[in-house]
């Protein structure tokens, strides 16, 4: 957790997804975020906080043209992303419960204006090239 920007022992939520196409698993994904962010409800929303919804619950999307992080009020200002066709590193493979050396992975780490981690995602990504992004978001 410390490598991902979370203090050891802090309350976090882990969301794990397995995406399939025609019943065949094509993507494993895990996202970790502080519980206090995961528990936030958008203004006027009455249901279970979208990031705490149980597996199989109906999908909840923000209004058209609004990013999920903005709708949930996370204050994300910077996201670093790396997607590669190279074998994923040992830590990413362990987090996803996959054998070491699985080819193709992606990771996203986002922070708020104070530098606190808002979320980290690690995923398999069946790609053939390397892509590296550093997204800096301007205040609205």
> Model-level pTM?
0.76
pLDDT digits (tens, 9 = 90+) for 83-97: 877 887 787 777 777
**Which residues fall within 8 angstroms of residue 3, CB to CB, at 6 or more apart?**
91
Per CATH, which fold does 2-136 belong to? Chorismate lyase (3.40.1410)
Q: What percent of the chain has pLDDT over 70?
A: 94
**Which residues fall within 8 angstroms of residue 135, CB to CB, at 6 or more apart?**
78, 79, 80, 81
State yes or no: pLDDT of 140 exceeds 70. Answer: no
d(CA 5, CA 25): 29
């Amino acid at each position: 957790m410390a490598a991902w920007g979370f203090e050891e022992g802090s309350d976090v939520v882990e969301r794990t997804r397995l995406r399939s196409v025609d019943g065949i698993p094509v993507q494993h994904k895990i996202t970790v975020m502080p519980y206090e962010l995961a528990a936030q409800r958008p203004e006027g929303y009455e249901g279970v906080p979208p990031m705490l919804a149980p597996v199989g619950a109906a999908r909840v999307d923000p209004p058209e043209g609004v990013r999920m992080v903005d709708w949930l009020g996370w204050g994300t200002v910077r996201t670093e992303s790396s997607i590669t066709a190279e074998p994923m590193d040992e830590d990413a493979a362990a987090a996803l419960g996959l054998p070491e050396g699985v080819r193709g992975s992606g990771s996203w780490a986002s922070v708020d204006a104070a530098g606190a981690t808002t979320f980290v995602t690690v995923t398999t990504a069946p790609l053939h090239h390397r892509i590296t992004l550093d997204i800096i978001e301007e205040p609205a």
